[in-house]
Amino acid sequence: MGVSERPRALVFGEVAEMYEAARPGYAPQLAPVVLEYAGPGGGLDAVEFGAGTGKATLAFAERGVSLSCVEPDPRMAAVLRRRTAGHPSVRVEVESFERWRPAGHYGLLLAATCWHWFDPARRWDLAHAALAPGGALALCWNVLRVRDEGLHARLAEIDRRFGSVASPHAQLVRADRELPGSWDSGEWPAAECRADGRFGDLREIRLREETRYDTRTYLNYLSTVSYYRLLPERRRVRLFEALADAVDGHGGSLAFELATDLFLARRR
């Protein structure tokens, strides 16, 4: 049995509260690094696409950035509005990146773990149109890498048995995969950006921290991943049972290195 035909980019809202609770945030250095590149936070006018529940949003709002958040799923947007209620500089609009029309030009365009969902034929045109000359583009992704080699091997065997693909635990911490975007499965934007030619001052940065999940929280996290959301329920239940047994057998938790991979570019 394959995955469901529900639109993959819009399944996160089915579990919006769980998404907020179980998904990791971004490395604490993310906002300072982006703002050092883009300019001072106070007074900076920014737009964030695919803002979700605000995993990246709050770090920028707390630093004085004025944010227009564009989120296509109203269920995710509802959580985002609640979480940013104390920040009047944050505005939330329910719309897709492709249908949104800017009221002006922005000094920063942010997209956190969502650039790959946008139309490849249009996303660079839309980003260029939204940014003021000299404005900064900041695209980031979180990458989990398992620290325990034995547990990684056990989880990989379960993934092979169930035909799982693109699981968050698929990667092991390895010295030969230290470059940002080294996990690339066609999502890392550097080559496309260079080929586009309208952006310069390209930078690729990896920010690291350690994190740990207990078994239940990790299964909740997997429940927010699009691949697992689209699996038939019976197959997902059996797969999660096998993963839980493996994690419980290794002390009931997984130690990860959380890498926030950041790509920066500037409109020429």
Task: Indicate the pLDDT class of residue 188, thresholds 50, 70 and 90.
Answer: very high
pLDDT number for residue 21: 96
Using the predicted structure, report yes or no on whether residue 4 has a pLDDT greater than 60: no
Using the predicted structure, report yes or no on whether residue 1 has a pLDDT greater than 60: no
Instruction: Write out the two tokens for 17.
Output: 């509260």
| Whether pTM exceeds 0.85 | yes
Q: Give pLDDT tens digits for 143-170.
A: 999 999 999 999 999 999 999 988 999 9
pLDDT number for residue 185: 65
N- to C-terminal Cα distance for the chain?
48
Q: Give pLDDT tens digits for 69-119.
A: 999 999 999 999 999 999 999 999 999 999 999 888 999 999 999 999 999
pLDDT number for residue 177: 66
pLDDT number for residue 186: 76
b (16+ CB within 10 A) / e for 230-265: bbeeebbeebbebbeebbeeeeebbebbbbbbbbbb
Task: Indicate the pLDDT class of residue 10, thresholds 50, 70 and 90.
Answer: confident
Using the predicted structure, report yes or no on whether residue 40 has a pLDDT greater than 80: no
pLDDT number for residue 62: 96
Contacts of residue 67, defined as CB under 8 A and 6 or more positions apart, other chains included, come to 46, 47, 48, 57, 60, 61, 87, 89, 90, 91
Q: Measured between alpha carbons, how far is 83 from 78 in angstroms, rounded to an integer?
A: 9
Using the predicted structure, report yes or no on whether residue 3 has a pLDDT greater than 70: no
Beta bridge partners of 254: 213
pLDDT number for residue 39: 87
Q: Residue ranges per domain, the chain? A: 8-267
Q: Measured between alpha carbons, how far is 93 from 193 in angstroms, rounded to an integer?
A: 27
Using the predicted structure, report yes or no on whether residue 51 has a pLDDT greater than 90: yes
Check if the beta carbon of residue 126 is closer than 8 Å to that of residue 96.
Answer: no
pLDDT number for residue 176: 60
Domain 8-267 has CATH 3.20.20.70: no
Instruction: Write out the two tokens for 179.
Output: 């470059």
Lowest mean pLDDT segment, chosen from 3-12, 89-98, 139-148, 238-247: 3-12
Contacts of residue 36, defined as CB under 8 A and 6 or more positions apart, other chains included, come to none
pLDDT number for residue 78: 98
